Structure 1
Protein backbone atom coordinates (compact mmCIF):
# COMPACT_ATOMS: atom_id res chain seq x y z
CA UNK A 1 0.00 0.00 0.00
CA UNK A 2 1.37 3.37 -1.05
CA UNK A 3 0.40 5.84 1.67
CA UNK A 4 2.98 8.47 2.59
CA UNK A 5 4.32 11.18 0.24
CA UNK A 6 7.73 9.45 0.41
CA UNK A 7 6.17 6.12 -0.63
CA UNK A 8 4.32 7.84 -3.49
CA UNK A 9 7.59 9.28 -4.85
CA UNK A 10 9.46 5.99 -4.42
CA UNK A 11 6.67 4.07 -6.20
CA UNK A 12 6.55 6.64 -9.02
CA UNK A 13 10.31 6.40 -9.53
CA UNK A 14 10.30 2.57 -9.47
CA UNK A 15 7.44 2.41 -12.00
CA UNK A 16 8.81 5.01 -14.40
CA UNK A 17 12.05 3.10 -15.05
CA UNK A 18 10.15 0.04 -16.32
CA UNK A 19 9.39 -0.75 -19.95
CA UNK A 20 6.00 -2.22 -18.95
CA UNK A 21 3.95 -2.42 -15.76
CA UNK A 22 0.84 -4.34 -14.77
CA UNK A 23 -2.18 -2.05 -14.37
CA UNK A 24 -5.72 -2.31 -13.05
CA UNK A 25 -8.23 -0.40 -10.96
CA UNK A 26 -10.91 -1.40 -8.49
CA UNK A 27 -14.13 0.45 -7.76
CA UNK A 28 -16.77 0.04 -5.11
CA UNK A 29 -19.51 -1.95 -6.84
CA UNK A 30 -22.90 -0.43 -7.55
CA UNK A 31 -25.93 -2.60 -6.92
CA UNK A 32 -28.81 -0.19 -7.52
CA UNK A 33 -30.13 0.45 -11.00
CA UNK A 34 -29.09 3.90 -12.19
CA UNK A 35 -26.46 4.29 -9.46
CA UNK A 36 -23.26 5.86 -10.76
CA UNK A 37 -19.88 4.56 -9.69
CA UNK A 38 -17.62 6.94 -7.78
CA UNK A 39 -14.55 4.88 -8.68
CA UNK A 40 -11.86 4.13 -9.16
CA UNK A 41 -11.09 3.75 -5.48
CA UNK A 42 -7.88 1.79 -5.94
CA UNK A 43 -5.24 1.92 -8.68
CA UNK A 44 -2.86 -1.03 -8.94
CA UNK A 45 0.50 -1.16 -10.68
CA UNK A 46 3.05 -3.97 -10.69
CA UNK A 47 6.67 -4.26 -11.71
CA UNK A 48 8.26 -7.66 -12.19
CA UNK A 49 9.04 -7.75 -8.46
CA UNK A 50 6.54 -5.59 -6.60
CA UNK A 51 2.94 -4.36 -6.66
CA UNK A 52 1.97 -0.81 -5.70
CA UNK A 53 -1.57 -0.02 -4.57
CA UNK A 54 -2.81 3.58 -4.50
CA UNK A 55 -6.07 4.35 -2.70
CA UNK A 56 -8.09 7.15 -4.28
CA UNK A 57 -10.54 8.98 -2.05
CA UNK A 58 -13.10 11.69 -2.69
CA UNK A 59 -10.31 14.28 -2.62
CA UNK A 60 -6.94 13.16 -3.91
CA UNK A 61 -3.79 14.73 -2.47
CA UNK A 62 -1.92 16.87 -5.04
CA UNK A 63 1.32 14.84 -4.70
CA UNK A 64 -0.60 11.61 -5.35
CA UNK A 65 -2.38 13.00 -8.41
CA UNK A 66 0.94 14.37 -9.75
CA UNK A 67 2.55 10.93 -9.41
CA UNK A 68 -0.39 9.21 -11.10
CA UNK A 69 -0.26 11.75 -13.96
CA UNK A 70 3.47 11.09 -14.39
CA UNK A 71 2.89 7.32 -14.57
CA UNK A 72 -0.33 7.16 -16.56
CA UNK A 73 -0.12 9.99 -19.10
CA UNK A 74 3.26 8.99 -20.56
CA UNK A 75 3.41 6.42 -23.36
CA UNK A 76 6.07 4.51 -21.39
CA UNK A 77 6.02 2.45 -19.37
CA UNK A 78 3.35 0.46 -21.16
CA UNK A 79 0.39 -0.11 -18.85
CA UNK A 80 -0.78 -3.71 -19.41
CA UNK A 81 -3.93 -5.24 -18.01
CA UNK A 82 -7.22 -6.94 -18.81
CA UNK A 83 -10.45 -5.11 -19.67
CA UNK A 84 -8.99 -1.62 -19.29
CA UNK A 85 -11.41 0.50 -21.35
CA UNK A 86 -13.71 1.16 -18.39
CA UNK A 87 -10.75 1.72 -16.04
CA UNK A 88 -9.32 4.39 -18.35
CA UNK A 89 -12.69 6.14 -18.70
CA UNK A 90 -13.21 6.19 -14.93
CA UNK A 91 -9.71 7.59 -14.35
CA UNK A 92 -10.51 10.37 -16.78
CA UNK A 93 -13.90 11.11 -15.22
CA UNK A 94 -12.65 11.14 -11.63
CA UNK A 95 -9.09 12.49 -11.88
CA UNK A 96 -8.96 14.06 -15.38
CA UNK A 97 -6.14 11.66 -16.32
CA UNK A 98 -5.71 10.75 -19.98
CA UNK A 99 -3.92 7.42 -19.83
CA UNK A 100 -1.43 6.69 -22.63
CA UNK A 101 0.47 3.54 -23.55
CA UNK A 102 -2.40 1.31 -22.40
CA UNK A 103 -2.27 -2.31 -23.59
CA UNK A 104 -5.57 -4.10 -23.05
CA UNK A 105 -4.56 -7.76 -23.12
CA UNK A 106 -8.22 -8.77 -23.43
CA UNK A 107 -8.14 -7.31 -26.93
CA UNK A 108 -4.50 -7.95 -27.89
CA UNK A 109 -4.65 -11.66 -27.05
CA UNK A 110 -7.99 -12.23 -28.77
CA UNK A 111 -7.79 -14.88 -31.49
CA UNK A 112 -8.67 -13.42 -34.92
CA UNK A 113 -12.34 -14.00 -35.62
CA UNK A 114 -13.09 -14.51 -31.92
CA UNK A 115 -15.81 -12.23 -30.61
CA UNK A 116 -15.18 -12.52 -26.90
CA UNK A 117 -12.29 -10.87 -25.12
CA UNK A 118 -9.75 -13.05 -23.35
CA UNK A 119 -9.77 -12.56 -19.57
CA UNK A 120 -7.03 -13.06 -17.00
CA UNK A 121 -8.29 -16.49 -15.90
CA UNK A 122 -8.41 -17.79 -19.48
CA UNK A 123 -4.99 -16.29 -20.30
CA UNK A 124 -3.36 -17.90 -17.25
CA UNK A 125 -4.88 -21.27 -18.18
CA UNK A 126 -3.81 -20.89 -21.84
CA UNK A 127 -0.24 -19.71 -21.28
CA UNK A 128 0.71 -21.33 -17.98
CA UNK A 129 -1.66 -24.28 -17.63
CA UNK A 130 -2.72 -22.99 -14.21
CA UNK A 131 -6.01 -22.01 -12.64
CA UNK A 132 -6.14 -18.39 -11.48
CA UNK A 133 -8.21 -18.06 -8.33
CA UNK A 134 -10.34 -14.91 -8.55
CA UNK A 135 -12.90 -14.68 -5.79
CA UNK A 136 -16.20 -13.06 -6.79
CA UNK A 137 -16.73 -12.40 -3.10
CA UNK A 138 -13.55 -10.31 -2.91
CA UNK A 139 -14.04 -8.59 -6.29
CA UNK A 140 -17.43 -7.25 -5.17
CA UNK A 141 -16.27 -5.92 -1.80
CA UNK A 142 -16.21 -2.25 -0.88
CA UNK A 143 -13.01 -0.91 -2.44
CA UNK A 144 -13.74 2.56 -1.05
CA UNK A 145 -13.06 1.51 2.54
CA UNK A 146 -10.32 3.57 4.23
CA UNK A 147 -8.49 0.35 5.19
CA UNK A 148 -8.52 -2.63 2.87
CA UNK A 149 -8.23 -6.10 4.35
CA UNK A 150 -5.45 -8.55 3.51
CA UNK A 151 -7.59 -10.50 1.02
CA UNK A 152 -8.49 -7.31 -0.88
CA UNK A 153 -4.83 -6.26 -0.99
CA UNK A 154 -3.69 -9.65 -2.30
CA UNK A 155 -6.51 -9.77 -4.88
CA UNK A 156 -5.65 -6.28 -6.16
CA UNK A 157 -1.91 -6.94 -6.31
CA UNK A 158 -2.49 -10.24 -8.13
CA UNK A 159 -4.61 -8.53 -10.81
CA UNK A 160 -1.77 -6.20 -11.77
CA UNK A 161 0.99 -8.79 -11.39
CA UNK A 162 -0.81 -11.47 -13.45
CA UNK A 163 -1.30 -9.05 -16.35
CA UNK A 164 2.40 -8.22 -16.45
CA UNK A 165 3.41 -11.90 -16.28
CA UNK A 166 1.04 -12.85 -19.11
CA UNK A 167 2.36 -9.93 -21.20
CA UNK A 168 6.01 -10.90 -20.60
CA UNK A 169 5.28 -14.53 -21.51
CA UNK A 170 3.37 -13.56 -24.66
CA UNK A 171 6.16 -11.20 -25.81
CA UNK A 172 8.72 -13.92 -24.93
CA UNK A 173 6.96 -16.22 -27.41
CA UNK A 174 7.94 -13.77 -30.17
CA UNK A 175 4.67 -11.87 -30.41
CA UNK A 176 4.57 -8.14 -31.10
CA UNK A 177 2.05 -5.54 -30.04
CA UNK A 178 -0.15 -3.98 -32.68
CA UNK A 179 -0.15 -0.20 -32.94
CA UNK A 180 -1.80 1.06 -29.77
CA UNK A 181 -5.04 2.93 -30.21
CA UNK A 182 -6.01 5.39 -27.49
CA UNK A 183 -9.20 4.68 -25.58
CA UNK A 184 -11.93 7.05 -26.74
CA UNK A 185 -12.76 9.46 -23.95
CA UNK A 186 -15.79 11.74 -23.80
CA UNK A 187 -15.22 15.11 -25.42
CA UNK A 188 -15.06 18.09 -23.07
CA UNK A 189 -18.26 20.17 -23.00
CA UNK A 190 -18.34 23.22 -25.24
CA UNK A 191 -18.06 26.49 -23.34
CA UNK A 192 -19.44 28.73 -26.06
CA UNK A 193 -16.21 30.75 -26.03
CA UNK A 194 -14.09 30.96 -29.17
Structure 2
Protein backbone atom coordinates (compact mmCIF):
# COMPACT_ATOMS: atom_id res chain seq x y z
CA UNK A 1 0.00 0.00 0.00
CA UNK A 2 1.52 3.26 -1.13
CA UNK A 3 2.79 5.59 1.57
CA UNK A 4 2.85 2.95 4.33
CA UNK A 5 5.97 1.25 5.70
CA UNK A 6 6.64 -2.16 4.12
CA UNK A 7 5.66 -4.04 7.28
CA UNK A 8 2.18 -2.50 7.11
CA UNK A 9 1.49 -3.48 3.49
CA UNK A 10 -0.12 -6.79 4.44
CA UNK A 11 -2.37 -5.44 7.20
CA UNK A 12 -6.13 -5.72 6.65
CA UNK A 13 -7.82 -2.44 5.75
CA UNK A 14 -9.35 -0.20 8.39
CA UNK A 15 -13.10 0.10 7.89
CA UNK A 16 -14.25 3.60 8.69
CA UNK A 17 -17.60 5.26 9.10
CA UNK A 18 -20.52 4.56 6.77
CA UNK A 19 -21.89 7.39 4.66
CA UNK A 20 -25.32 6.87 6.24
CA UNK A 21 -23.81 7.93 9.58
CA UNK A 22 -22.35 11.20 8.27
CA UNK A 23 -24.38 14.37 8.82
CA UNK A 24 -23.77 17.44 6.66
CA UNK A 25 -24.65 20.51 8.73
CA UNK A 26 -26.29 23.11 6.48
CA UNK A 27 -28.93 24.95 8.48
CA UNK A 28 -29.16 26.51 11.93
CA UNK A 29 -31.48 23.65 12.89
CA UNK A 30 -28.88 21.11 11.72
CA UNK A 31 -26.26 22.93 13.78
CA UNK A 32 -28.41 22.94 16.91
CA UNK A 33 -29.03 19.21 16.55
CA UNK A 34 -25.31 18.55 16.07
CA UNK A 35 -24.46 20.72 19.06
CA UNK A 36 -26.84 18.83 21.34
CA UNK A 37 -25.46 15.44 20.30
CA UNK A 38 -21.81 16.44 20.53
CA UNK A 39 -22.10 18.15 23.91
CA UNK A 40 -23.81 15.03 25.29
CA UNK A 41 -20.59 13.07 24.67
CA UNK A 42 -17.68 12.95 27.10
CA UNK A 43 -15.22 12.95 24.17
CA UNK A 44 -15.46 13.60 20.42
CA UNK A 45 -13.15 13.44 17.44
CA UNK A 46 -12.18 16.79 15.90
CA UNK A 47 -10.41 17.92 12.73
CA UNK A 48 -10.58 20.53 9.99
CA UNK A 49 -9.96 20.66 6.24
CA UNK A 50 -8.74 23.63 4.21
CA UNK A 51 -8.60 24.35 0.50
CA UNK A 52 -4.98 23.71 -0.55
CA UNK A 53 -2.76 26.51 -1.80
CA UNK A 54 -0.49 25.97 -4.79
CA UNK A 55 1.21 29.37 -5.07
CA UNK A 56 4.42 29.93 -3.13
CA UNK A 57 3.89 32.37 -0.27
CA UNK A 58 0.10 32.14 -0.50
CA UNK A 59 -1.57 31.59 2.86
CA UNK A 60 -4.68 29.52 3.39
CA UNK A 61 -7.96 31.21 4.33
CA UNK A 62 -9.22 28.00 5.91
CA UNK A 63 -10.65 26.16 7.60
CA UNK A 64 -13.29 25.46 4.98
CA UNK A 65 -14.66 22.47 6.84
CA UNK A 66 -14.81 21.57 10.54
CA UNK A 67 -15.70 18.01 11.42
CA UNK A 68 -16.63 16.25 14.64
CA UNK A 69 -17.54 12.67 15.48
CA UNK A 70 -18.93 10.76 18.40
CA UNK A 71 -18.89 6.97 18.64
CA UNK A 72 -21.64 6.53 16.04
CA UNK A 73 -21.93 9.60 13.84
CA UNK A 74 -19.92 12.41 12.27
CA UNK A 75 -20.99 16.00 11.65
CA UNK A 76 -19.45 18.14 8.91
CA UNK A 77 -19.67 21.94 9.14
CA UNK A 78 -18.87 23.48 5.71
CA UNK A 79 -17.44 27.00 5.95
CA UNK A 80 -16.77 27.80 2.30
CA UNK A 81 -19.65 30.25 1.88
CA UNK A 82 -21.99 32.05 4.27
CA UNK A 83 -21.57 30.23 7.55
CA UNK A 84 -22.59 32.79 10.20
CA UNK A 85 -25.55 30.60 11.22
CA UNK A 86 -23.16 27.74 12.06
CA UNK A 87 -20.84 29.72 14.32
CA UNK A 88 -22.88 29.57 17.57
CA UNK A 89 -22.85 25.76 17.51
CA UNK A 90 -19.17 25.60 16.58
CA UNK A 91 -18.33 27.99 19.38
CA UNK A 92 -20.42 26.05 21.91
CA UNK A 93 -18.76 22.74 21.04
CA UNK A 94 -15.17 23.95 20.70
CA UNK A 95 -15.29 26.10 23.83
CA UNK A 96 -17.05 23.45 25.94
CA UNK A 97 -15.22 22.51 29.13
CA UNK A 98 -17.33 19.37 29.48
CA UNK A 99 -16.47 17.65 26.20
CA UNK A 100 -12.95 16.55 25.33
CA UNK A 101 -11.90 17.10 21.70
CA UNK A 102 -9.30 14.66 20.31
CA UNK A 103 -7.52 14.58 16.96
CA UNK A 104 -4.21 14.15 15.18
CA UNK A 105 -1.87 17.00 14.22
CA UNK A 106 -4.15 19.77 15.46
CA UNK A 107 -1.64 22.63 15.69
CA UNK A 108 -2.53 24.27 12.36
CA UNK A 109 -6.22 23.46 12.81
CA UNK A 110 -6.29 25.35 16.10
CA UNK A 111 -4.51 28.37 14.62
CA UNK A 112 -6.94 28.57 11.72
CA UNK A 113 -9.98 28.21 13.96
CA UNK A 114 -8.74 31.06 16.12
CA UNK A 115 -7.84 33.27 13.16
CA UNK A 116 -10.88 32.73 10.94
CA UNK A 117 -13.66 31.98 13.41
CA UNK A 118 -12.49 33.88 16.49
CA UNK A 119 -13.03 30.74 18.58
CA UNK A 120 -10.63 29.59 21.32
CA UNK A 121 -10.97 25.80 21.62
CA UNK A 122 -10.57 24.31 25.09
CA UNK A 123 -10.01 20.74 26.34
CA UNK A 124 -8.29 19.66 23.13
CA UNK A 125 -5.89 16.69 23.10
CA UNK A 126 -3.55 16.27 20.13
CA UNK A 127 -3.05 12.50 19.96
CA UNK A 128 0.04 12.94 17.80
CA UNK A 129 1.73 14.23 20.95
CA UNK A 130 -0.22 12.32 23.62
CA UNK A 131 0.57 8.90 22.13
CA UNK A 132 4.32 9.45 21.88
CA UNK A 133 6.41 7.07 23.95
CA UNK A 134 9.87 7.65 25.43
CA UNK A 135 12.53 7.49 22.74
CA UNK A 136 10.08 8.16 19.90
CA UNK A 137 11.51 10.88 17.68
CA UNK A 138 8.41 11.79 15.72
CA UNK A 139 4.78 12.41 16.54
CA UNK A 140 2.46 9.48 15.89
CA UNK A 141 0.08 10.05 12.98
CA UNK A 142 -3.31 8.51 12.40
CA UNK A 143 -1.95 5.89 9.96
CA UNK A 144 0.73 4.73 12.38
CA UNK A 145 -1.70 4.74 15.31
CA UNK A 146 -4.23 2.57 13.45
CA UNK A 147 -1.48 0.12 12.51
CA UNK A 148 -0.09 0.04 16.05
CA UNK A 149 -3.32 -0.23 18.04
CA UNK A 150 -5.74 -1.91 15.60
CA UNK A 151 -3.37 -3.90 13.37
CA UNK A 152 -5.05 -2.37 10.34
CA UNK A 153 -4.08 -0.11 7.44
CA UNK A 154 -5.76 3.31 7.31
CA UNK A 155 -6.08 4.52 3.75
CA UNK A 156 -5.68 8.29 3.38
CA UNK A 157 -5.94 9.43 -0.23
CA UNK A 158 -3.64 12.31 -1.15
CA UNK A 159 -5.93 12.94 -4.11
CA UNK A 160 -8.90 13.53 -1.81
CA UNK A 161 -6.98 15.46 0.85
CA UNK A 162 -5.86 18.05 -1.74
CA UNK A 163 -9.29 18.62 -3.27
CA UNK A 164 -11.15 21.92 -3.00
CA UNK A 165 -12.75 21.85 0.45
CA UNK A 166 -14.39 25.24 -0.18
CA UNK A 167 -16.71 23.88 -2.87
CA UNK A 168 -20.43 24.50 -2.24
CA UNK A 169 -21.13 20.78 -2.54
CA UNK A 170 -18.78 18.13 -1.18
CA UNK A 171 -18.43 14.77 -2.89
CA UNK A 172 -19.22 11.54 -1.07
CA UNK A 173 -15.51 10.71 -1.05
CA UNK A 174 -14.71 14.06 0.58
CA UNK A 175 -17.41 13.55 3.19
CA UNK A 176 -16.14 10.08 4.11
CA UNK A 177 -12.52 11.25 4.21
CA UNK A 178 -13.36 14.12 6.56
CA UNK A 179 -15.66 12.04 8.75
CA UNK A 180 -13.07 9.29 9.12
CA UNK A 181 -10.41 11.83 10.09
CA UNK A 182 -12.52 12.82 13.08
CA UNK A 183 -13.88 9.44 14.10
CA UNK A 184 -10.65 7.45 13.80
CA UNK A 185 -9.09 9.79 16.37
CA UNK A 186 -11.91 9.10 18.80
CA UNK A 187 -11.67 5.35 18.24
CA UNK A 188 -7.93 5.39 18.89
CA UNK A 189 -8.46 7.48 22.03
CA UNK A 190 -11.12 5.08 23.37
CA UNK A 191 -8.84 2.09 22.74
CA UNK A 192 -5.83 3.80 24.34
CA UNK A 193 -7.82 4.68 27.46
CA UNK A 194 -9.19 1.12 27.64
CA UNK A 195 -5.60 -0.12 27.82
CA UNK A 196 -5.27 1.69 31.15
CA UNK A 197 -3.64 4.89 29.98
CA UNK A 198 -4.45 8.25 31.52
CA UNK A 199 -4.67 11.48 29.59
CA UNK A 200 -2.11 14.01 30.89
CA UNK A 201 -3.24 17.39 32.13
CA UNK A 202 -4.16 19.62 29.21
CA UNK A 203 -2.62 23.03 28.74
CA UNK A 204 -4.99 25.90 29.52
CA UNK A 205 -6.20 27.90 26.50
CA UNK A 206 -4.24 30.93 25.43
CA UNK A 207 -5.29 34.09 27.23
CA UNK A 208 -6.64 36.73 24.84
CA UNK A 209 -4.36 39.67 24.26
CA UNK A 210 -5.46 42.75 26.18
CA UNK A 211 -6.81 45.49 24.01
CA UNK A 212 -4.75 48.64 23.84
CA UNK A 213 -6.68 51.71 25.00
CA UNK A 214 -7.42 54.16 22.24
CA UNK A 215 -5.67 57.49 22.34
CA UNK A 216 -8.06 60.38 22.87
CA UNK A 217 -8.94 62.27 19.72
CA UNK A 218 -7.07 65.59 19.39
CA UNK A 219 -9.17 68.57 20.37
CA UNK A 220 -10.16 70.94 17.61
TM-score, scaled relative to structure 2: 0.83
- Give distance in 1, aligned partners of 2:212 and 2:57: 28
- CA-atom RMSD in angstroms: 1.7
Aligned to 1:149, which of 146, 153, 171?
A: 171
Tell me the SS of whatever aligns to 1:70.
Answer: helix
Query: Are 1:40 and 2:57 counterparts?
Result: no
Does 52-61 or 13-22 show the bigger shift? 52-61
Identify unmatched segments of 5+ residues in structure 2: 1-23, 216-220
Question: Which secondary structure does the structure 2 equivalent of 1:103 belong to?
Answer: strand
Counterparts of 1:107 and 1:39, CA distance in 2: 23
Tell whether the 8 Å contact from 1:39 to 1:94 is kept in structure 2 after alignment: yes
Structure 1: how far apart are the matches of 2:124 and 2:156?
A: 23
Query: Unpaired runs of 5+ in structure 1?
Result: none
Structure 1 residues 143, 182: CA separation in 2 closer, same or farther (over 3 Å shift)? Answer: farther
* Stretches of 4+ aligned residues off by more than 6 angstroms: none
**Cα 1:179–1:166, aligned 2, differ >3 Å: closer, same or farther?**
same
Q: 1:96-133: CA deviations, max 9, x gaps? A: 00000101000000112322100000000000000000
User: Is contact 2:80–2:165 with CA below 8 Å preserved after alignment?
Assistant: no
2: distance between equivalents of 1:99 and 1:53?
A: 17
Which protein is bigger by CA-based radius of gyration? 2
Residue 168 of structure 1 corresponds to 190
Match of 2:120 among 95, 98, 117: 98
Quote the Cα distance in structure 2 between the aligned partners of 1:117 and 1:24: 17
Structure 1 residue 49: Cα displacement: 0.4
Equivalent-residue separation in structure 2 for 1:175 and 1:64 (angstroms): 35
CA shift at 1:74, angstroms?
A: 1.5
TM-score, normalised on structure 1? 0.94
User: What is the match of residue 76 of structure 1?
Assistant: 98
Aligned residues: 192
Distance in 1 (alpha carbons) for counterparts of 2:48 and 2:98: 18
- What does 1:119-138 align with in structure 2 at a 5 Å threshold? 119-138=141-160
Residue in structure 1 matching 2:77, options 37, 51, 54: 54
Structure 2 matches for 1:17-28, cutoff 5 A? 17-28=40-51
Change in Cα spacing, 1:182 to 1:89, as seen in structure 2 (3 Å) is farther
